[in-house]
Structure 1
Amino acid sequence: MAPSDFSDRKTIEERRNRGPPFILLLPLIYAPILPLIRIGLRRRPVLRDRLFFGVLAGAFAHGTYLVTDLYDVEGR
């Protein structure tokens, strides 16, 4: 591999990583959604509880995904 190939790859990788890491910003969406589900669906307790726990399970799955080796920012 020529030295210029390495520098070209490095610039391509730097271009890809320019934007904000949206996957890390998802807790900013989960935080207000959970209380809004509880408040907004007060009159439908079965749907409220199922939706609340479904979103909560999704949040925990997302957190688990981020702390495991499946999502490794430093390794890329």
Structure 2
Amino acid sequence: MRTTLNIDDEILEAARSIAGERNLSVGAALSELARRGLRPAARVGRKRSGFPVFEISHAGTVLTLDRVREHEGDP
């Protein structure tokens, strides 16, 4: 389906990065990101060695080289 959206620059950058890494269109990458966002949040499970065990999806924030360079000088 075609539609027009206003997308934050950071989201578009992440989608482009995912698209490039996985040989997808930017639209397909955005759809994947939306699906990840719709999944249930991580749940805290039982404790192991005194620490809570979290179930998380394999989805995560995309850390691009540009974002690393942006923060190289941060304290």
Q: TM-score, normalised by structure 2?
A: 0.27
Q: Which is greater in Rg?
A: 1
**TM-score (normalised: structure 1):** 0.27
More strand by share: 2
More helix per residue: 1 or 2? Answer: 1
